[in-house]
C-alpha cells in the first residue's frame, strides 16, 4: 500500500516518529478497532483513532444523544440531540478523516451478539457504563482471544488496564465478581468531571495504537489510576494471571457467555465506569 500525497501530509507527524514510521502507519491504516459505547470514554477514543488513521472503526451503541451527554461526550453536538449516537459519531469521524471506514451497530450488546461483533476486529475498546457489559466484554475477548482495553471513571478518578491473550491478568482476575446492585451509587448520583472522560478515553486510544504498531509497553499486568484533583497518575502492579480465574484460569468455570443482571450505570472503585 502506497500513501497518497494527502495521506503523507495527514500522517506526517506519525511517520517522522522512528517508533511508528511508514511501517507503523500502514499497520494503523490496515487495522480494525471496535469501540463498544459512544459515550464519555468511547467518544474521545474514537476521535483520536480516526485522526490516527485506523482503517476501520466499529461503533456500537443503542442510545440517542441527550443534552446531559454533551458535558463529556465530545463526539456529539447540540444539533445531534435526539439522533442515534452511532449516527452522530459516524458523521463526526468522517469529517475528521474521510479515509476511515466507520461501521455502526445501533444495538445493545449482549451474549447473543457480542461474539459476532468482535469477530472481525483486531482490538476492542470498553467504553460502556455498566458492570454486566464490562464482564461480558472481558469474557468474550478472553474466549475469542481478542485484546481489549478496560477503562472506568467516576467523579474525579479514572482507571485503565489492557488485556492481551497470554500476557497478564484479565478483568476477572482483578475484579472477580460484580458488586451487589445496592452497594454503589448510580451515575446521576455520583457525577463525573467531563474532562476526565477525555483523559482516560484518549489513553484507551493510545493503548490501541501501541498494540497495533507494536511499540512501547502496554498496561498488561498493571492498573493505571488517575486522580484528577491531585493530578496524580499511578500504576498498580497486578498479580500474574490467576490460575483460578473462572474465565482465563487453568480450569475455567465460565465457558459460555452470560447476561448478568444488574441495573445499568452503576459504578464503584471496583472496575468503575461512568460515561
pLDDT per position as a tens digit, 185-231 = 655 678 999 999 999 999 999 999 999 999 999 999 999 999 999 99
Nearest Cα to 84, choosing from 57, 50, 107?
107
Residue 262's pLDDT is 52
Instruction: Give the CA radius of gyration of the chain.
Output: 18
Indicate the DSSP class of residue 220. Answer: S
pLDDT value, residue 130? 85
| CATH number for the domain formed by residue range(s) 31-237 | 3.40.50.720
SS3 of residue 242 by DSSP: coil
Q: Measure the CA–CA gap between 13 and 6, rounded to whole angstroms.
A: 13
Cell numbers linked to 138: 472481558
Tell me whether strands 56-60 and 32-36 are parallel, antiparallel or unpaired.
Answer: parallel
**What DSSP state is assigned to residue 66?**
-
Residues 228/158, Cβ–Cβ less than 8 Å? yes
Contact assessment for residue 259 and residue 113, using Cβ atoms and an 8 Å cutoff: no
Residue 131: per-residue pLDDT: 86
pTM: 0.93
> Residue with C-alpha cell 458535558?
71
Q: What are 53-81's pLDDT values in tens digits?
A: 999 999 999 999 999 999 999 999 999 99
Q: Is the dihedral of CA 231, 174, 33, 8 positive or negative?
A: positive
Spans of the chain, pLDDT less than 50 = 263-275
CA separation for the pair 54, 149 (Å, rounded): 16
Residue 255 to residue 248: CA distance in whole angstroms: 10
Q: How far apart, in Å, are the Cα atoms of 244 and each of 164, 192, 198?
A: 18, 35, 35
Provide the pLDDT for residue 252: 93
d(CA 210, CA 219): 10
Question: Residue 215 gets which letter from DSSP?
Answer: -
Residue listed under C-alpha cell 446521576: 188
The pLDDT score that the predictor gives to residue 260 is: 81
CA dihedral 129, 165, 163, 241 (to 10 degrees): 110
Q: Where are the domains of the chain?
A: 31-237
pLDDT for the residue 265: 38
Amino acid at each position: 500500500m502506497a500513501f497518497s500525497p494527502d495521506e503523507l501530509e495527514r500522517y506526517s507527524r506519525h511517520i517522522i516518529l522512528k517508533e511508528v514510521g511508514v511501517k507503523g502507519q500502514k499497520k494503523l491504516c490496515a487495522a480494525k478497532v471496535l469501540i463498544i459505547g459512544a459515550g464519555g470514554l468511547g467518544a474521545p477514543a474514537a476521535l483520536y483513532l480516526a485522526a490516527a488513521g485506523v482503517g476501520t472503526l466499529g461503533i456500537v451503541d443503542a442510545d440517542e444523544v441527550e443534552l446531559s451527554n454533551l458535558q463529556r461526550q465530545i463526539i456529539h453536538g447540540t444539533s445531534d440531540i435526539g439522533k442515534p449516537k452511532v449516527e452522530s459519531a459516524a458523521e463526526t469521524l468522517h469529517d475528521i478523516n474521510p479515509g476511515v471506514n466507520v461501521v455502526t451497530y445501533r444495538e445493545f450488546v449482549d451474549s447473543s451478539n457480542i461474539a459476532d461483533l468482535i469477530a472481525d476486529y483486531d482490538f476492542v475498546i470498553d467504553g460502556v457504563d455498566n458492570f454486566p457489559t464490562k464482564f461480558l466484554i472481558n469474557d468474550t475477548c478472553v474466549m475469542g482471544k481478542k485484546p481489549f482495553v478496560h477503562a472506568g471513571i467516576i467523579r474525579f478518578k479514572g482507571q485503565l488496564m489492557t488485556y492481551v491473550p497470554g500476557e497478564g491478568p484479565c478483568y476477572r482476575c482483578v475484579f472477580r465478581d460484580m458488586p451487589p446492585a445496592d452497594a454503589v451509587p448510580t451515575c446521576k448520583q455520583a457525577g463525573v468531571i467531563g474532562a476526565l472522560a477525555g483523559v482516560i478515553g484518549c489513553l484507551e486510544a493510545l493503548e490501541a495504537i501501541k498494540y497495533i504498531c507494536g511499540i512501547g509497553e502496554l498496561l498488561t499486568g498493571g492498573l493505571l489510576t488517575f486522580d484528577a484533583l491531585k493530578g496524580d497518575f499511578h500504576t498498580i502492579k497486578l498479580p500474574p494471571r490467576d490460575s483460578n480465574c473462572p474465565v482465563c484460569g487453568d480450569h475455567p468455570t465460565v465457558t459460555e457467555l452470560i447476561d448478568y443482571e444488574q441495573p445499568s450505570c452503576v459504578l464503584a472503585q471496583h472496575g468503575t465506569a461512568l460515561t
